[in-house]
Amino acid sequence: MARPQNFDTDTVLDRAMDQFWTHGYANTSPAQLAEATGIGKGSLYNTFGSKRALFDVVLDRYGRLGVAMAEDYMSRPGTTRECLREYLRAAVDLDMASPTRRGCLAVNTAAELGGHDAAATTTLRGIEQRIVATLAARIDQGRRDGDVDREVDPNSIAALLFTTSAGLRLMAKTNDAPQLYRLIDVALTTL
């Protein structure tokens, strides 16, 4: 008979996420995961199957949180440019608030595993597609509302802003917020 779980799964996932985010997939050991989550390696493996399976769940969770953040900012009142500016600034602010400048888990994973790890690449592309679709929908709304040039291609600009966001998250490891805010303002001139 299996023993009941004595931990909150979301808390464990958030703590594991912190480890993978800070150290990367390859440089995060099972011992680090056990220590960070407060549960034994055996319980981790019994619950999630393997370090890789745990990472896959964490990356999916991170993606869902990222999509939810984009949806939240794109549904706020204000012009399209204001919503996009606040969304991009919030991402920079999150990076700046962390004691360790670690950028974005998805961007870090793309650098570490993207292109040679099919499962990670598929997950990352799914995150990208959902966020780009969310941004494109807001840009299209801005075209209808008249605060975005009607000639703008919402999908192309959304993809550009997603790419800008990825770059900002990487640059947040070595730059200050005012410099990154200036880059956000330049990117938004495409609207």
What is the Cα–Cα distance from 18 to 120, expressed in whole angstroms? 18
What does DSSP assign to residue 129? H
Question: What's the token pair of residue 47?
Answer: 């619950």
Counting every residue written for the chain, the total comes to 191
Element (H, E) at 21: helix 9-23
Q: Compute the mean pLDDT over every residue in the chain, rounded to the nearest whole number.
A: 94
Q: What residue type is assigned to position 98 of the chain?
A: S
pLDDT of residue 68: 98
CB 134 within 8 A of CB 67: yes
The confidence band for 40, taking pLDDT boundaries of 50, 70 and 90, is confident
Residue 91: which of 164, 14, 17 has the closest Cα?
164
Instruction: Please tell me the pTM assigned to this model.
Output: 0.92
pLDDT digits 0-9 by tens, 144-163: 999 999 999 999 999 999 99
pLDDT digits 0-9 by tens, 70-119: 999 999 999 999 999 999 999 999 999 988 899 999 999 999 999 899 99
Percent of all residues in the chain with a pLDDT value above 70, rounded to a whole number: 97
